[in-house]
Amino acid sequence: MKWTKKLLYAITVISTVIYLVWRTFFTIPFHTKFWVFLFAILLLLSEIISNFSAFVLIWNKRQVKEYDKPKILPEEYPDIDVLIATHNEPPDLLMKTINACTFMRYPDKNKVHIYVSDDANRPEIKELAKKYHVNYMGIADNKDAKAGNYNYTLARTHSRLIATFDADMIPYSEFLLETVPYFVQNEKEGQQEDPPKDWQPIGLVQTPQSFYNADIFQYNLFSENSIPNEQDYFSREVNVLNNAHGAAIYTGSNTVLSRAAIEAAGGFPTDTITEDFELSMRINAQGFKNISTIEPMASGLTPVDFKSVMKQRIRWARGVIQSIYNLKVPFNPDLTGAQKLIYMNSYFYWWAFPRRFLYIFAPVLYALFKIRVVDADFWVLLAIWAPSYFLVQLVLRNITGNIRTQRWGEIQETVFAPYLFFPVILESFGIKAKTFKVTNKEAKTSKKDIIYVLPYLIMWLIVLVSIIKFNYGKFGSEIMYGSVITFWLLMALINLSFAVLLCLGRPIYRRSERFSTSIDIKVSQGNNSYDLKTTNTSEEGLSFISKVPLYFPGNSTLNFTLKSKHYEAHLQGKVVRAFETRNGWMYGITLKKPDFKNDNEYLQIIHDGFNRYLPQKRDPWDTALDELMDNFDQRFNKKEVRQSFTNEFPMVQVNQRVNSKDQEFTLTTFNFETLTLAGTSFEKLPDNLSLFLAKGITLKLTANQETTSNQRQYKVDNLEELLQNKSFVKILDDWGGKQ
């Protein structure tokens, strides 16, 4: 790390410690009502915990170890059991994960043993496993949720490495090649006569959680092109920094674990609803280290409706608190001091949501009721608080890179706060939720979901009234002295505005996700075939682009051969729209259901890699205010879609003078089957005519409709003959071709 960064980090820590000492001893309003005093103490504790979390990140950043993937020989790859956990997920969803697992590359595929672990013992899932020639483990009356499911399968398998996947998590083909070498190299180092002093066996290698659909923040806030998935910050930043102390957290999927580590930890824990988080700690407590990689090696579905997202986070919050208590982490002698700090930081993270209420209402109390929960002189506050606050913001921006800003973190905390407040408090005081509930990833939005906006809307109105009342009638120095209160109120108003907009939702039109995919595609119809490139693919359709407009008869079935580096698929479909873009003519295709073999290959073409339509980094030029304005613009200032976008045939804008005997016209548009003519005189356009374009090329036309204007649409009667004429095709290319 450069000395300038070290200096910046040191100054930040020192200034923050000075601020917290000052806050503790000089700003608490001791001589006030008890509830105000209690609020002030809770606010101070919130600031201490918030800065503690920042310090842990800074500390990890300074000590983090970079892990380069080791290179090992093909014969060194060991046997590995791949476990796919399923509870009640539909077969169509599970099929994609099983399919991808069968395509994972490995030097000897006979060493890869795939198991579908079904704790519902469903016949249809057993049949699905048989269809893909993988093993099936069905459990009847499983009472220990996902942990019991895995333990049942582990007891009946034998490989020394275990890969785990959730039912909706689709591994990339390189997953095993990217993860297994860490274990092999680690074992070789441990078997040396003089192993490294800091050597520890690897317990697990966690790859980031990633998703191929936009999450609720990206989609509902119209930000799917500018901000990464909300979970990326933890998976690709925080958890990687945890490598500094071998304490990367197991997130339940996309992971390879050592069987020895699982057995030493006593198997998957069954006394918590987040068995993955607790297993991380138990593995560490047994002397193993956990590491996390940076690049996603699998993608899954993230929930898209508000209710499912909140249920998921409530389960995570309660489970983490349960696990911290189960292992008595602060007093656990088997964890290192650094590991305790990391896991306690995970515990304190869930307290960020109750804390958010304190941050919102502290300035409100003063603005509306003149109740001070921070007793400080304006200039002293500015001199001590401002340097600490802005230095922490600067350092965290550096640590988090281009994935998330602190502002987005505050927005996300604000969204979760009302619905995590009571679960976090109840679980912390021993009122447990023990039922494991699988998150519904296919839930749909409903008009009833609008009720979730109420807490945000109420708080938004309170904050707005506070801003108006606090600043009404003030001028000059009065506004300046109140600027800190106004600043925090405005921040809260912006955060709550995002929360309100998120709860307003956004219609979901697409039945399957589109993936940005540029691969070779041969398009065939009759005796004609064209070598083109796809622009995107999905499970129900695809698009390809052509430099020149192409004609495919209406409702005709087209044959497609798609070839990527590793896969080839043969499909059929129909054109549903054709439109002009800057780079060429785009054709949208709806696909017929492929046969079983081609379905496998095509699913791999779609899912073997990150969905490039979704950003992995935020746009550094976009601020939260920019996103807010853009959200308003896209939500309330909708633009009409051009009708030509939905045409089955490419609509070519020609605007060329043409002749028919002694009459002149302007050919305005041409879409193969029809064209539009505009008269250049006041004469009525004829019902039938022969239009001369060039030597040997005459269009025979029949009017489609009556008209009272000087424009008329015609059907091209001799289109099939014209398309066999190379001179006509050349004219057509000149009309609509792209360079």
Tens-digit pLDDT profile for residues 342-386:
999 999 999 999 999 999 999 999 999 999 999 999 999 999 999
Please report which helix (H) or strand (E) contains residue 546, including its range: strand 541-546
Query: Where on the phi/psi map is residue 157: left (φ > 0), alpha (ψ -120 to 50), or beta?
Result: beta
Closest by CA to 118, choosing from 169, 144, 153, 93, is 153
What does the pLDDT look like over 511-523, one tens digit per residue? 789 999 999 999 9
Whether 708 has a pLDDT exceeding 70, the answer reads: no
Contact 499, 436 (CB under 8 A): no
Tell me the C-alpha distance between 659 and 664, whole Å.
5
Categorize the per-residue pLDDT at 642 as very low, low, confident or very high, splitting at 50, 70 and 90.
very low
Q: Which residues pair with 580 in a beta bridge?
A: 585
Average confidence (pLDDT) over 60-75:
88
At 37, phi and psi to the nearest 5?
-60, -45
pLDDT of residue 438: 62
pLDDT of residue 445: 63
DSSP 704-721: -S--SSSEEEEEETTHHH
Average confidence (pLDDT) over 297-309:
93
Which range (261-270, 328-337, 512-521, 672-681) has the least confidence?
672-681
Tell me the C-alpha distance between 61 and 395, whole Å.
10
pLDDT of residue 643: 43
The tokens for 382 are 């500015």
Whether 272 has a pLDDT exceeding 70, the answer reads: yes
By the 10 Å C-beta count (0-12 exposed, 13-18 middle, 19+ buried), 335 is classed as buried
Whether 325 has a pLDDT exceeding 70, the answer reads: yes
Q: Which residue has the higher pLDDT, 443 or 223?
A: 223
Q: What is each CA distance from 630 to 135, 330, 401, in whole angstroms?
A: 49, 45, 23
What does the pLDDT look like over 194-252, one tens digit per residue? 888 889 999 999 999 999 999 999 999 999 988 999 999 999 999 999 999 999 999 99
The tokens for 427 are 């679980």
Residues 6+ apart with CB under 8 A from 121: 138, 139, 140
Closest by CA to 400, choosing from 227, 523, 560, is 227
pLDDT of residue 644: 42
The tokens for 669 are 């548009």
Categorize the per-residue pLDDT at 739 as very low, low, confident or very high, splitting at 50, 70 and 90.
low
By the 10 Å C-beta count (0-12 exposed, 13-18 middle, 19+ buried), 365 is classed as middle
* DSSP 8-state assignment for residue 640: P
Which range (171-180, 417-426, 634-643) has the least confidence?
634-643
What does the pLDDT look like over 160-193, one tens digit per residue? 999 999 999 999 999 999 999 999 999 999 999 8
Tell me the C-alpha distance between 94 and 90, whole Å.
6
pLDDT of residue 469: 96
Angle at which helices 352-369 and 483-504 pack, to 10 degrees? Answer: 130
pLDDT of residue 199: 95
Which range (262-266, 396-400, 549-553, 728-732) has the least confidence?
396-400
Tell me the C-alpha distance between 182 and 176, whole Å.
10
Q: Which residue has the higher pLDDT, 715 or 685?
A: 715
Cα Rg for the chain, rounded, in angstroms?
A: 31
Tell me the C-alpha distance between 69 and 181, whole Å.
7
The tokens for 691 are 């239009």
Tell me the C-alpha distance between 6 and 686, whole Å.
83
Domains defined along the chain, listed by start: 3-63+351-440+446-504 (no CATH), 74-304 (3.90.550.10), 515-607 (2.40.10.220), 652-736 (2.40.10)
What does the pLDDT look like over 114-127, one tens digit per residue? 999 999 999 999 99
Tell me the C-alpha distance between 368 and 616, whole Å.
42
The tokens for 210 are 């990633």
DSSP H helix total and E strand total for the chain: 23, 22
What's the whole-number average pLDDT of the chain? 91
What does the pLDDT look like over 22-45, one tens digit per residue? 999 999 999 999 999 999 999 999
Q: Which residue has the higher pLDDT, 206 or 67?
A: 206
* DSSP 8-state assignment for residue 211: B
Q: Which residues of 514-536 are buried (b: 16+ CB within 10 A; e: fewer)?
A: bbebebebebebeeeeeebebbb
What does the pLDDT look like over 572-622, one tens digit per residue? 999 999 999 999 999 999 999 766 556 799 999 999 999 999 998 887 778
